[in-house]
Amino acid sequence: MSMQVKPVKNPWETSFENLTTKVHKSIKKAASDATKTIVADVKQQVVGEQAMQTQQAMQAPQSFLEIKEQVKPEEKKKLELWRRNLADLEAQIKKAREERLKREQESGRVKEQEKQQKKVVEEKKKKEEPVWKKMMKMGSQAERKVNAGG
């Protein structure tokens, strides 16, 4: 007969940190993408204005709307990328949460099955009384005392 060792349940299993460790690659990618775009925006604001001023001095002056239209497609791409990454992260967190809930429900079912099995075994033991106990219960109270040796 082999003893089954039950694994110790991790009390921190439902913590936010453990949920995010399962999706850390996606989070890391989203964070790096966000950092890159922020750096690019800052660089454009700091250096881009000077470059635009020198470009304007060399060329015919462009209107503000033309410059804005050139930037829009890049911003749209960045926004779309951010939205996709965010949707992926939300889906992965939702999946991890569902898996955790499923495991908890499964462990609850297993415990319930064990209780039912124990109950069945106890009922069997009660039904399978030895013959000598049944014989002791037969007859009057006086006969039982005599049979019991008292």
Mean pLDDT of the 94-109 span:
91
Mean pLDDT of the 67-81 span:
77
**Reported pTM:** 0.34
At 19-61, the pLDDT tens digits run: 666 677 777 788 888 888 888 887 777 776 655 566 555 555 4
pLDDT for the residue numbered 53 = 61
Q: How far is CA 44 from CA 71, 74, 137, in A?
A: 11, 12, 98
What is the distance of C-alpha 43 from the center of its chain?
Answer: 38
Closest CA to 18 of 122, 76, 133, 96: 96
Amino acid occupying residue 5: V
Dist CA 83 CA 97 (whole Å): 21
pLDDT for the residue numbered 1 = 47
Q: Which pair of tokens denotes residue 145?
A: 């005392």
Q: What is the mean pLDDT of the chain?
A: 76
Contact criterion met (CB below 8 Å) for 83 and 9? no
Mean pLDDT of the 129-144 span:
74
Closest CA to 38 of 85, 86, 89, 82: 82
Bigger pLDDT: 53 vs 85 = 85
How many CA atoms lie within 13 Å of 110's alpha carbon, on the beta-carbon side?
7
pLDDT for the residue numbered 70 = 64
Contact criterion met (CB below 8 Å) for 86 and 30? yes
The pLDDT of residue 149 is above 90: no
pLDDT for the residue numbered 116 = 92
- 34, with CB counted inside 10 A (0-12, 13-18, 19+), is middle
